[in-house]
Amino acid sequence: MAFDNDMGDFTTDAILLRKIEYGDHDLIITFLTRDKGKICVMAKNAKKSVRRFSGAMDLFSVNHIQCAFPKKNKEAMINLCQTVLENGFSHIRYDVVNTAYASYWTEIVTQWLEDGKAQPDIFELLYTALEMVDDGFIPTEVISLLFQIRFMRLSGFSPGLDQCDTCHTNIEDVDSARLWFDFKAGRVVCPQCKGRIIPVQEPAGPFGAGFRGCWVSKGTLKQLSWINTVEMARAGRIKFSPAAIQEGETLLESFIPFHIGRHFNSLKFLHKMRSEI
């Protein structure tokens, strides 16, 4: 019998992405785990069991969790048995702007990742990004650029920022300070090639007609390429000018929702917060 009980159990590190109240006592929690990818679990009696669930199970917190697969009904949810808080990231949760950024990243992860598919590199990326915000040495808006561009690369959708997508001229050799970034293609195009492209009439999607790209300076493109590939520990050394941050934000915060094909509520909140600073 003991053997049977242990069979479906597993432990892993997990970042809390989302929690929903279920009835009076239970919680349904979405975690990004190191070993099992994104999982949705049922935490029975979570609001009362302080002993089993240490910490308050706050958003973005990192926990060591113990879970059990359902034994009888295989369609039922995974049960969360126990959690031990590893890092509560209090500097994120008590700062409304940091919370807005972290909410945006966790919404990307929640919307984009398949359930139950282990992606330890994405777990590490989110963990490191949250840790960097909590440490407070690097501006959160720079960490956000770093998170977004690396997330897209790890997901296999790295935007093409090094050369013109049409004539393949390296951006260094393009005779212009700025290039056009096409949101749909996720690629830059030089001004000459952009002039030759005949706009395609498409039905208005979730983003409306005409919302197709933005101009970005070469300097910003080079900095984004650099933070995409450099070791994480060195990425914080790059200095973005306020203009480069703004261009990078426009590019990535348009490209990602465009690519995923939906609007992000967390992004609306983030834009509102930024406009009020």
Q: What is the binding site for Zn ion (CB under 5 A)?
A: 164, 166-167, 190, 193
**Whose Cβ is closer to Zn ion: residue 92's or residue 188's?**
188
**Whose Cβ is closer to Zn ion: residue 190's or residue 251's?**
190
Torsion of CA 133, 136, 137, 141, to 10 degrees: 50
- Adjacent-strand bridge partners of 189: 180
CB contact at 8 A, 32 and 60: no
Q: Shortest Cβ distance from residue 235 to Zn ion (Å)? A: 29
**Whose Cβ is closer to Zn ion: residue 191's or residue 236's?**
191
Helix (H, G, I), strand (E, B) or coil at 171: helix
Q: Shortest Cβ distance from residue 59 to Zn ion (Å)? A: 44
Q: Shortest Cβ distance from residue 192 to Zn ion (Å)? A: 6
**Whose Cβ is closer to Zn ion: residue 87's or residue 166's?**
166
Tokens of 143: 């960490």
Residue 72: exposure state from Cβ atoms within 10 A (0-12, 13-18, ≥19) = exposed
Q: Shortest Cβ distance from residue 173 to Zn ion (Å)? A: 10
Residue with tokens 């465009």: 258
Q: Shortest Cβ distance from residue 225 to Zn ion (Å)? A: 17
**Whose Cβ is closer to Zn ion: residue 160's or residue 236's?**
160
Residue with tokens 């260094």: 172
